[in-house]
Amino acid sequence: MSEAGVPGTLWIVSAPSGGGKTSLTRALVERLGAAGWPAEISVSYTTRAKRPGEHEGEHYHYVDAATFGRMVDQGEFLEHAEVFGRHYGTGLSRTKQLLHAGTDVILDIDWQGARQIRARRSDCQSVFILPPSAGELERRLRARAQDSDETIAQRMAEARSEMSHYAEYDYLIVNDQFEHALGQLAAIFIARRLRTTVQQARYSPLIEDLLGA
pLDDT at 145: 65
Distance CA 20, CA 8 (A): 24
- The number of angstroms, rounded, from the C-alpha of 3 to the middle of its chain's C-alpha atoms is 24
Structural domain count of the chain: 1
- Cα distances from 83 to residues 31, 33, 47, 164, in angstroms, run 30, 31, 10, 16
Whole-model pTM?
0.88
59 located within any domain: no
Residue pLDDT tens, the chain, 213 long: 555 678 999 999 999 989 999 999 999 999 999 999 999 999 999 999 998 899 999 989 999 999 999 999 999 999 998 887 899 999 999 999 999 999 999 999 999 889 999 999 999 999 999 999 999 999 998 887 677 888 899 989 999 999 999 999 999 999 999 999 999 999 999 999 999 999 998 899 999 999 985
Q: Which residues contact 79 (CB under 8 A, 6 or more apart)?
A: 89, 90, 107, 109, 113, 116, 117, 120
Strands 86-91 and 10-14: unpaired
96 located within any domain: no
93 located within any domain: no
Distance CA 87, CA 41 (A): 18
18 located within any domain: yes
4 located within any domain: no
Q: Which residues contact 88 (CB under 8 A, 6 or more apart)?
A: 44, 45, 46, 47, 48, 80, 81, 82, 109, 110, 113
81 located within any domain: no
34 located within any domain: yes
Give the range of the structural domain holding residue 157, as residue numbers without chain letter.
Answer: 10-42+104-210
pLDDT at 5: 73
57 located within any domain: no
Q: What is the CATH number of the domain that holds 17?
A: 3.40.50.300
DSSP the chain: --TTS-PPPEEEEE--TTS-HHHHHHHHHHHHHHTT--EEE---EE-SPPPTT--BTTTBEE--HHHHHHHHHTT-EEEEEEETTEEEEEEHHHHHHHHHTT-EEEEE--HHHHHHHHHH-TT-EEEEEE-S-HHHHHHHHHHT--S-HHHHHHHHHHHHHHHTTGGGSSEEEE-SSHHHHHHHHHHHHHHHHTSHHHHHHHTHHHHHHHTT-
